[in-house]
Amino acid sequence: DAGVIQSPRHEVTEMGQEVTLRCKPISGHDYLFWYRQTMMRGLELLIYFNNNVPIDDSGMPEDRFSAKMPNASFSTLKIQPSEPRDSAVYFCASSLRAGEETQYFGPGTRLLVL
C-alpha cells in the first residue's frame, strides 16, 4: 500500500489567495483526519471524517478553512483567503475503524503564505 498520499508537498502563495490541500487516505480506511503543525501550537486536529461525513470540526480555526470528502478516497482542505499565520505543515491521517486503531500519517504539505 502506498500509504496516505498528500499533495502538494510544498505550497508557497501570497496572502489572499485560495489554497487547496489534497489527501488520499489508505484504501479501506473509514476515518480521515486533518492536522496542522506549527512551532507555536504543535500538532492540532482540525477536522475528522467517518465514512466521508465530517464528525468533528471544532478544531477548524475559522470560516476561512473548509474541508470536504466527496468520496472514500479523496479529501480536500481549503483556505480562502489565506493569511501568513496559516503557514504551517498540514498533515492528513487515516485509520481503519474506531476504537483501538492507529492513525497513519501522510508526508504533509508545507504551506508558506507570504
Partner 1 sequence: AQSVSQHNHHVILSEAASLELGCNYSYGGTVNLFWYVQYPGQHLQLLLKYFSGDPLVKGIKGFEAEFIKSKFSFNLRKPSVQWSDTAEYFCAVKAAGNKLTFGGGTRVLVKP
Residue 30, C-beta contacts closer than 8 angstroms, at least 6 positions apart: 50, 51, 72, 95, 96, 97
Is residue 50 within 8 A of residue 75, CB to CB? The reply is no
> Is the link from the previous residue into 54 a cis peptide, with omega within 30 of 0?
no
9 or 17, CB closer to partner 1? 9
Nearest Cα to Cα of residue 7 among 77, 64, 54, 55: 77
7 or 50, CB closer to partner 1? 50
CB of 73 to partner 1, least distance (A): 19
The contact set with partner 1 (CB under 8 A) reads 31, 33, 42-45, 48, 50, 55-56, 91, 93, 95, 98, 100, 102-108
Read off the DSSP letter of residue 81. S
Q: Extract the C-alpha cell encoding 106.
A: 501522510
81 or 107, CB closer to partner 1? 107
CB of 7 to partner 1, least distance (A): 14
82 or 108, CB closer to partner 1? 108
CB of 45 to partner 1, least distance (A): 6
